[in-house]
């Protein structure tokens, strides 16, 4: 596994990301300086050491960013090579649908549970290569809080971790000679899964280009509470209907679909207005109590 050097595919910024570390370093430096001034013990050497520490942390951040970029570029190069050499065969979602219905080829869904539970291809097998991080230890909670603050509240993208049992679970289900179709939501994680499977000895691997999100309604027989195109969205943006996938869906569904999200937007505005007025009334009430 380690030799594959799989890059971090989670789109949100974990607590180890450079942006988070830079903000943390600035906050730490600012807080330490404030305490020193308050106690009257600020010295030139302390300031110099603080600046040197910040510079070192920034240099480390740049090295980590550069390493992540190199890892991703190397992974893409490997994946392109697998496709170019024919070790992984390319299928469009429609071709995958034909292969499933006419040739009875199995479809391996490698999406995380947050996407799988919303919509899936009928009869597909599910083994996530990355799944939702459900641990409640301090490190995981810190990542979740950071991700939420850095945009997770809007996008709803969860913290994911690599599934160490991925290969063993696949091997339990499928022999090495199986003609296996591999798919994820957008087509990136499934390429990582294809590489793992090829290196494990599978020789008949098919990759769904663009992922399940690019499938049209008639391409695949699906089940679940939502269309496949909407399985990868979440957060407040999904609630308001402000994602590209929902805009495309609204163009098909018409005004009835749009009115639902318009009503939600007005509801949010009214709720915010009510909270603002309530806060004002509470402030006046507290002032009156103090005046007595």
User: What is the model's pLDDT at position 4?
Assistant: 42
Which residue would you say has higher pLDDT here, 273 or 16? 273
Which residue would you say has higher pLDDT here, 257 or 287? 287
214 closest CA partner among 251, 184, 181, 239? 184
pTM of the predicted model as reported, rounded to 2 decimal places: 0.67
User: What is the model's pLDDT at position 251?
Assistant: 75
What's the rounded mean pLDDT across residues 108-125? 96
Tell me the C-alpha distance between 269 and 282, whole Å: 20
Least-confidence region, from 65-69, 181-185, 198-202: 65-69
- Answer whether residue 277 shows pLDDT above 90: no
- Answer whether residue 67 shows pLDDT above 80: no
Beta bridge partners of 88: 205
User: What is the model's pLDDT at position 126?
Assistant: 97
194 counts as catalytic: no
Share of the chain above pLDDT 90, in %: 38
Tell me the C-alpha distance between 268 and 250, whole Å: 20
Which residue would you say has higher pLDDT here, 42 or 195? 195
What's the rounded mean pLDDT across residues 120-144? 84
Least-confidence region, from 46-55, 239-248, 258-267, 282-291: 46-55
Note the helical H segments in 85-162: 93-102, 113-116, 138-147, 153-155
Which residue would you say has higher pLDDT here, 74 or 65? 74
Which residue among the candidates 184, 197, 205, 233 is catalytic per the annotation? 184
User: What is the model's pLDDT at position 58?
Assistant: 52
């Amino acid at each position: 596994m380690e030799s594959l050097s799989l890059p971090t595919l989670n789109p949100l910024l974990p607590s180890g990301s450079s942006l988070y570390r830079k903000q943390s370093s600035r906050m730490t430096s600012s807080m330490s300086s404030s305490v020193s001034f308050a106690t009257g013990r600020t010295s030139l050497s302390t300031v110099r050491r603080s600046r040197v520490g910040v510079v070192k942390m920034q240099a480390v951040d740049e090295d980590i960013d550069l390493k992540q970029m190199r890892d991703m570029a190397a992974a893409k190069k490997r994946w392109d090579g697998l496709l170019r050499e024919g070790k992984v065969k390319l299928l469009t979602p429609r071709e995958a649908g034909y292969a499933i219905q006419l040739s009875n080829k199995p479809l391996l869904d490698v999406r995380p549970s947050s996407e799988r539970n919303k919509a899936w291809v009928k009869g597909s097998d599910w083994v996530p290569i990355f799944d939702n991080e459900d641990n409640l230890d301090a490190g995981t909670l810190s990542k979740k809080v950071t991700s939420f603050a850095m945009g997770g509240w809007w996008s709803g993208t969860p913290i994911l971790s690599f599934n160490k049992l991925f290969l063993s679970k696949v091997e339990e289900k499928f022999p090495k000679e199986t003609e296996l179709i591999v798919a994820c939501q957008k087509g990136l994680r499934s390429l990582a899964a294809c590489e793992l499977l090829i290196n494990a000895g599978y020789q008949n691997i098919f990759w769904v280009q663009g992922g399940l999100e690019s499938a049209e309604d008639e391409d695949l027989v699906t089940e679940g509470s939502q269309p496949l195109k909407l399985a990868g969205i979440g957060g407040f943006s999904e609630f308001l209907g402000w994602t590209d996938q929902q805009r495309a869906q609204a163009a098909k569904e018409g005004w009835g679909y749009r009115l639902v999200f318009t009503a939600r937007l007005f509801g949010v505005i009214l709720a915010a207005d009510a909270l603002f007025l309530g806060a004002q009334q509470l402030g006046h009430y507290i002032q009156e109590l103090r005046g007595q």
